[in-house]
Structure 1
Amino acid sequence: MLADIDTWVLDLDNTLYPAGSALAVQLTDGILSTIAEYYGTDVPGARRIQSELVAEYGTSLRGAMLTGTIDPHEFLGFERRMDYSVIGPDPALAGVLEELPGRRYVYTNGSAYHAEQVLTRLGLTEHIDGVFDILAGELIPKPYAESLDAFLARFGVDPARSAMFDDLEVNLALPHERGMTTVWVTAGTPYEQLAERRWRAADLPSFLRANV
């Protein structure tokens, strides 16, 4: 069903590893603690500020930069303190990625450092041809057009021959408009087709094995 696809665009967090995992919890806690310290508030206050920043600017980092003076590297410093050993190899995902025809990229609103740590722990590094992170996008995140255009240009991606996987449905709207096949990775049935070139999948390896 995806026989025409030769470029695979993969989100990182909550897509290549499960939402709610110990690493996802650390990531959320790290962002909230950074916001709390920067804005001088407690965790509930930080959670409210984060929601407002994400709603208005796409990511907490971009919002903090546009409304304040925080340095992006300082904001992302919590990643260096995370314990990545809480996730381990995913042989099933590695095997199916290895079999995919064409190129495979990670497109993330996180940093390249974070992506490298995650891919190494999951055993996926050798199956990924490139990483496009928030710094490569000049701090403009998904779902903004500037970010998508920069990603497509960087790797010479033809939207009509690519498939994008993301846990946030909002990040898939513009790629689908541009002609990409999109797969919303979320809880539910193993996988189902929502519309032409639009899918939802709870089990990424199963979806890829069944539809490639």
Structure 2
Amino acid sequence: MKQLDRLPTKADFAHVTDWVFDLDNTLYPHHVNLFSQIDRNMTAYVSALLTLDPVAAKSLQKQYYRDHGTTLQGLMIHHGIDPNDFLEKAHSIDYSVVPADPALGEAIKALPGRKFIFTNGSVRHAEMTAQALGILENFDNIFDIVAADYVPKPAGDTYHKFMKLHRVDTQRATMFEDLPRNLLVPRALGMKTVLLVPRNMEYEFAETWERSSEEDDQIDYVTEDLTGFLQRLIG
């Protein structure tokens, strides 16, 4: 992919005062595969809720994820579940598999301006993950699925809710994400957009529709190394 070879300069981001990071597969690399634990928990939840075998439950779970942005949103729409119960069970995982990343923490800390985590997960999940990485203290706030009234990215209203709450000037902000479709709205709002991809573009754990392509014109930069990317911006 040609964008992967386009390295940023400090000047490209000199105007940025608000740095917005997705959580899963963004603040930690794809190969950590923390989300596989959440994925299994969600499949088990769907299986128990609807008395489906694991294969059928996983298929329905993925359909809801693809169609509604999160499995949770699909379950709320079609089955009226308690979102808090779902989030608690989905995020009952082992965070010790996430390696500490002090270099990433130092890079985020050195960025000029405010730093946010903007996730379709819960605050607790974001805190536990960021704590495992050793970077939690470097963020000003976490905007989660509860703050979004359970309406996930890529819904435009959710981005606008985040921007309004934190008074983010989109012309002076940048968004880091691992899902191309979640960068459509930020790019339209004037934000710089950075897509995180797996090492060597090996999408071992991603659905086909989650992967980047040459047609993703909403993406300004693509990187497989978040720490290295940020280090270039802080000189």
Q: Which interval holds the TM-score relative to the shorter structure?
A: over 0.9
Superposed displacement of residue 47, structure 1:
1.8
Superposed displacement of residue 51, structure 1:
2.1
Q: Of 111, 115, 138, which aligns to 1:127?
A: 138
Q: Give the structure-2-normalised TM-score.
A: 0.84
1:1-212 paired onto structure 2 within 5 Å:
1-79=12-90, 81-187=92-198, 198-212=220-234
Change beyond 3 A, Cα 1:197–1:57: closer
Superposed displacement of residue 135, structure 1:
0.2
Question: Hey, what's the Cα distance between the residues in 2 that align with 1:32 and 1:197?
Answer: 31
Q: Which has the higher contact order (CA 8 A, sep 6+)?
A: 2
Equivalent residues of 1:164, 1:180 under 8 A apart: yes
Question: Hey, what's the Cα distance between the residues in 2 that align with 1:81 and 1:196?
Answer: 34
Equivalent residues of 1:189, 1:201 under 8 A apart: no
**Structure 1 stretches lacking a partner, 5+ long:** none
Question: Hey, what's the Cα distance between the residues in 2 that align with 1:176 and 1:189?
Answer: 25
Identity, % of aligned pairs?
36
Superposed displacement of residue 21, structure 1:
1.9
Question: Hey, what's the Cα distance between the residues in 1 that align with 2:23 and 2:142?
Answer: 10
Superposed displacement of residue 120, structure 1:
1.0
Superposed displacement of residue 42, structure 1:
2.1
SS in 2 for 1:182: strand
Question: Hey, what's the Cα distance between the residues in 2 that align with 1:25 and 1:187?
Answer: 15
Equivalent residues of 1:184, 1:201 under 8 A apart: yes
How many positions carry a matched residue from both structures? Answer: 209
Equivalent residues of 2:117, 2:143 under 8 A apart: yes
Question: Hey, what's the Cα distance between the residues in 2 that align with 1:47 and 1:80?
Answer: 17
Q: Give the structure-1-normalised TM-score.
A: 0.92
Superposed displacement of residue 189, structure 1:
6.2
Question: Hey, what's the Cα distance between the residues in 2 that align with 1:76 and 1:63?
Answer: 13
Equivalent residues of 1:180, 1:197 under 8 A apart: no
Change beyond 3 A, Cα 1:196–1:64: closer
Question: Hey, what's the Cα distance between the residues in 1 that align with 2:218 and 2:186?
Answer: 13
Question: Hey, what's the Cα distance between the residues in 2 that align with 1:182 and 1:161?
Answer: 12
SS in 2 for 1:140: coil
Change beyond 3 A, Cα 1:196–1:80: closer
SS in 1 for 2:147: coil
Which structure 1 residue ranges, 4+ long, deviate > 4 Å from structure 2? 194-197
Question: Hey, what's the Cα distance between the residues in 2 that align with 1:99 and 1:189?
Answer: 27
Superposed displacement of residue 22, structure 1:
4.8
Question: Hey, what's the Cα distance between the residues in 1 that align with 2:219 and 2:43?
Answer: 36
**Structure 2 stretches lacking a partner, 5+ long:** 1-11, 202-215
Superposed displacement of residue 53, structure 1:
0.8
